[in-house]
Amino acid sequence: MTSTASGGQLAGKIVAVTGATSGSGLAIARRFAAEGATMVLLARGADRLKALVDELGSDTVGLTTDVGDPDNVRGAFEAIGAQFGKLDILINNAGLHRPCPFESLADQDILAQVRTNLLGPTYTCRAAIPLLRAAGGGDIINTSSEVTIEIFPYEAVYRMTKAGLEALGQALSLEFEKEEIRVTTLIQGVALGEGGGSTDWKDNGEHTHLVWPRLQAEGTVQRVMGKHGGQTVESVADVHVFIVTRPRGQKLDVVRARSY
């Protein structure tokens, strides 16, 4: 077991991260804990959640949560309120990416992406606002994707959900600005690490034979990975720390982090 830093840039902050047990969420949890934050980890997998809580130490709380279930989210944030009375930072990192030819999309593929990518952050933001207000203000970071900037094949539903997420962030940023609640959209490119990279395209089950060859042939993979082969999840965590440590009075509405 490791313990969080007693000092650091985020000492005394209560931070909730969704999708905390893999990919960028895992790197964010580790980095914020190292900066002294008290971490509240939200994820569906109970076993991986417990392992991460054990790793990060006594200042960490794990709450098994399906962000697409409003009652589940409500219960998780009630638990945060009961234990801490406030929340300083919410990071909406959980996401579901299922590239697929549009006419082959199963109902469940559509619903799952909408629940996780769009409804999930809507539920978590709604539940977090009173706790952020209790803290005297704070930060929300919503993880979007460069698919909203560059149009890729087989990404219609994913793009739709991330565009909706960006619209949500714009609306909340205006609505809660006077309460010192800052909302930032992080447009994130491919990130390599535990659970990161191009695996969602490459290992796409029955559609792999369609998706991966076209993305390679049209240069999509090379374009998003860049000459450096993709950014790391650790560098993405650095960006999150930078955003939430901006001085009060400065707000970053949209940040794009990518490899080149």
CATH of the domain at 82: 3.40.50.720
Q: What is the pLDDT of residues 51-69, one digit of tens each?
A: 999 999 988 999 999 999 9
Band (2; pLDDT cuts 50, 70, 90): very low
Task: Report if residue 1 sits inside a domain.
Answer: no
What pLDDT, on the 0 to 100 scale, is given for residue 32? 97
Is 72 strand, coil or helix? helix
Give the torsion sign (CA, 233, 112, 72, 130): positive
* Residue 205 pLDDT > 90: no
Is 153 strand, coil or helix? coil
Band (4; pLDDT cuts 50, 70, 90): very low
Instruction: Provide the terminal-to-terminal Cα distance of the chain, rounded to the nearest Å.
Output: 36
User: Cβ contacts of residue 19 below 8 Å, gap of 6+?
Assistant: 25, 42, 43, 67, 93, 94, 95
User: Cβ contacts of residue 259 below 8 Å, gap of 6+?
Assistant: 189, 190, 224, 225, 226, 228, 229, 230, 231
What pLDDT, on the 0 to 100 scale, is given for residue 6? 57
CB 200 within 8 A of CB 98: yes
* Residue 202 pLDDT > 70: no
Q: What is the pLDDT of residues 106-154, one digit of tens each?
A: 999 999 999 999 999 999 999 999 999 999 999 999 999 999 998 888 8
Task: Report if residue 180 sits inside a domain.
Answer: yes
Read off the DSSP letter of residue 218: T
Task: Report if residue 221 sits inside a domain.
Answer: no
Catalytic residue among 123, 154, 158, 260: 158
Task: Report if residue 248 sits inside a domain.
Answer: yes
Task: Report if residue 33 sits inside a domain.
Answer: yes
Task: Report if residue 119 sits inside a domain.
Answer: yes
**What is the domain extent for residue 134?**
14-197+231-257
CB burial of residue 235 (10 Å; 0-12, 13-18, 19+): middle
* Residue 99 pLDDT > 80: yes
User: Cβ contacts of residue 188 below 8 Å, gap of 6+?
Assistant: 24, 143, 144, 145, 146, 236, 256, 257, 258
Task: Report if residue 218 sits inside a domain.
Answer: no
**Distance in angstroms (rounded) separating the CA atoms of residues 117 and 181:** 21
In the residue annotation, 158 being an active-site residue is answered as yes
CB 201 within 8 A of CB 222: no
Cα separations in angstroms, 66 against 59, 112, 120, 177, 243: 22, 11, 8, 28, 26
Q: What is the pTM of this model?
A: 0.91
Task: Report if residue 193 sits inside a domain.
Answer: yes
What is the number of structural domains in the chain? 1
Q: What is the pLDDT of residues 206-233, one digit of tens each?
A: 676 777 788 778 777 777 777 766 689 9
Percent of the chain with pLDDT over 70: 89
Dig out the tokens for 216 from the structure. 């390679």
